[in-house]
Amino acid sequence: MLKLYDIAVQSRLLLGTARFPSPAILAEAVRRSKTEIVTVSLRRETSGGKASGAFFDLIRELGVRVLPNTAGCHSVQEAVLTAKMAREVFRTDWIKLEVIGHHDTLQPDVFGLVEAARILTAEGFQVFPYTTDDLVVAEKLLEAGCRVLMPWCAPIGSAMGPVNPMALRTFRAHFPDLPLIVDAGIGRPSHAAQVMELGYDAVLLNTAVAGAGDPASMAEAFALAIEAGRLAHSAVPLEPRDMAVPSTPVIGKAVFS
């Protein structure tokens, strides 16, 4: 069981809802992934005009918890305003906080991120910040009131997978009891299993599922990989060795001359 702020969930997969080929495919992907939490970009969906109403109706019909996000915001003011609008629309204090600082990598503006997190937590929001794997930034976010962190493993939508596993391992070790969700850059189920084996609590995906040839099947594949990675971490896998170790016992074997 994973507890995020005051809510407990079974699934460790959080699924984004953007760029799916159709509402029906999105609905099927959500069902097959067994996710309990989906992210929704208020800015992106409200820009769709009349279609946005049908989209929000679909999300409500799916019976999942909504984690609104501030995707597309490049300033503290934009992010805070978007978060307040999202709270009105979805009736939730949860917000996935993004303050983008670089147009090419979509890396967060960590200074703006901390400032926005401080403002929002003071106003009663429960903030899920999209951040880098920088430990100092992470500490500042905790000081600002965040109780969940969402470090990236690669640029958003890049599908590169963990580009710095050592940084992710160090991040996990530094915050052993804090809920940590890997967000951004995962492209394959094997990537998801890899970060779960490092001891992360959950994975947030969007492009890797929505952009697949069969999004619903890919969503199910990710769900299984995340479960496998979590189970493997709990089972304490062997660490790599620099030499061969025989799996067959050598003591007590018959000797033929």
Known binding-site residue numbers for 1-deoxy-D-xylulose 5-phosphate: 157, 184-185, 206-207
Q: Which residues are annotated as a binding site?
A: 157, 184-185, 206-207
Asked whether the beta carbons of 201 and 12 are under 8 A apart, the reply is yes
d(CA 247, CA 213) in angstroms, rounded, equals 41
Q: Which amino acid is at 74?
A: H
**With helix as H, strand as E and coil as C, how does the chain read?**
CEEECCEEECCCEEEECCCCCCHHHHHHHHHHHCCCEEEEEHHHHHCCCCHHHHHHHHHHHCCCEEEEECCCCCCHHHHHHHHHHHHHHHCCCEEEECCECCCCCCCECHHHHHHHHHHHHHCCCEEEEEECCCHHHHHHHHHCCCCCEEECCCCCCCCCCCCCHHHHHHHHHHCCCCCEEEECCCCCHHHHHHHHHCCCCEEEECHHHHCCCCHHHHHHHHHHHHHHHHHHHHHCCCCCCCCCCCCCCCCCCCCCC
For residue 163, the one-letter residue type is V
Name the residues annotated as catalytic. Answer: 96
CB atoms within 10 A of CB 9: 17
